[in-house]
Amino acid sequence: GQNIDQPTEMTATEGAIVQINCTYQTSGFNGLFWYQQHAGEAPTFLSYNVLDGLEEKGRFSSFLSRSKGYSYLLLKELQMKDSASYLCAVVSSASKIIFGSGTRLSIRP
């Protein structure tokens, strides 16, 4: 079966660092995406990992370990505008994109 797990909710403080984890069990693996979705809006692309390791893009970084079926999204210097849901999505060997249920991140001042 296909399964992607993320924490449902997280809270962090403005200016701090937060790590959002994603574990997956899918039929094969062809890449992993992270998307950000503000309430009432469409998801927008954040990052893509297909090889093991860390990809850094400004305040956001994404890490992948294929052997562990694990990824995380790291957000640094948190800002209030980072309050959103973060969606982990895996591309299976059948070339299907499977989304996790998302992690709702709340930032407090």
Footprint of other proteins (CB under 8 A): 4, 30-31, 33, 35, 41-45, 48, 50, 87, 89, 91, 95-102
- Of 1 and 53, nearer to other proteins (C-beta) is 1
- Name the pairing type of β-strands 60-65 and 70-75: antiparallel
Q: Smallest distance from the beta carbon of 37 to other proteins, in angstroms?
A: 9
- Name the pairing type of β-strands 70-75 and 18-25: antiparallel
Identify the CA nearest to 36 among candidates 73, 64, 78. 73
- Of 85 and 107, nearer to other proteins (C-beta) is 85
Q: Smallest distance from the beta carbon of 92 to other proteins, in angstroms?
A: 9
Q: Smallest distance from the beta carbon of 102 to other proteins, in angstroms?
A: 5
- Of 69 and 100, nearer to other proteins (C-beta) is 100
Neighbours of 94 (CB within 10 A): 11
Please, which residues bridge with residue 98 across strands?
A: 90
